[in-house]
Amino acid sequence: MSDSISSAAQLADASRRRLLVETGDGPVVLFEVAGGLCAVEDGCLRCGASLLSGSLQGTVVTCRTCGWRYDVVQGCVVGLPALRVATYPVRSGAVD
């Protein structure tokens, strides 16, 4: 995967503040938090469910299947910082 995810458009569903992006290495979810975008690997470490459909409050998304909570800025499981999904830098603007 490239070193960053490029976002040239608004999130498709602004009310949910998230968008799934398919990459060569697998799915990545873009979350809009605190006026910025965070990109994390789309898959709960515990059960494998998509984080796209989880509940987002602030910077924490909760897996809809098992309830594990992830900080989408850091990628870590809340309370278990050694466990983490991959995070990716996001570049806003036009794609070259």
Sorted by where each starts, the structural domains of the chain and their CATH numbers stand as 5-92 (2.102.10.10)
Does this model's pTM top 0.85?
A: no
- Neighbouring-strand partners of residue 42: none
pLDDT band at 95 (very low <50, low <70, confident <90, very high): low
What amino acid occupies position 3? D
Tell me the backbone φ, ψ of residue 23, rounded to 5 degrees: -120, 170
Per residue in 36-81, pLDDT tens?
Answer: 999 999 999 999 999 999 999 999 999 999 999 999 999 999 999 9
d(CA 33, CA 18): 9
In the three-class reduction of DSSP (H, G, I as helix; E, B as strand; rest coil), residue 74 is classed as coil
d(CA 80, CA 77): 5
